[in-house]
Structure 1
Amino acid sequence: MENNRRITPPTYLKGTAVSVPEHVLDQELDGEIVLLDLKSGVYYGLNEVGSRMWTHLSTLSDLDEIMDKLLEEFDIDRATILNHLHDICHQLKSLELITLEGEFHAQIIEAVSC
């Protein structure tokens, strides 16, 4: 049975690095990003917000810097963006579409293990 309890995301991102593995390709279609996992052959579509997050995840390596960019782009508070960033990183990490190193990564592994 799946555990659906809400995980409190970390509030500290500095020092957490993100990278996109070589087996993941992306393409923009009509303002949204489509990801292809070459290992599994599966396509994933991201909505507008997910696409903006992916753009930063795939071009910047520091989650703290990504957070700052998202705060500049969206008219929402830091906690809301942090929750969305945590959720997308959790999903992408579990699908092996990104790799994470650092404190944020440790929090996501803990969340997956629960």
Structure 2
Amino acid sequence: MGKITLRNIRVYAYHGCLKEESIIGSDYLVTVKIFADLQKASLSDNLENTVDYVFINRVVKEEMKISSKLLEHVSKRIIDRIFKEMKSVTKALVSVSKVNPPINGDVEMVTVTLKKKRI
């Protein structure tokens, strides 16, 4: 078993419950942790035997383009696509962070993390 992490994928997107958030947009950071059997890849040195992190990055960017009110909703879309399209993934964690959220306070970011395990 092994883990691949894509940390702090930077995306500008339009998520939030406030009308202004869907118009103005905001900066987001997305971290994806993927668990899979990496033994074959470690021996073969072949991309076909591992989780393609270029693909994971593309999934994040595509799903972040679709506006959602809640970070939980966009996180679930990302994690569900990973499981649907990458059969080798056994477990994943997806964290979506809104940088400088409009919550009338001095908060660097707010983060929602979802995890899923293949049964």
TM-score (norm 2): 0.30
Q: Give the strand-richer structure, 1 or 2.
A: 2
Report the structure number with the largest CA radius of gyration.
2
More RCO (CA 8 Å, sep 6+): 1
Q: Give the helix-richer structure, 1 or 2.
A: 1
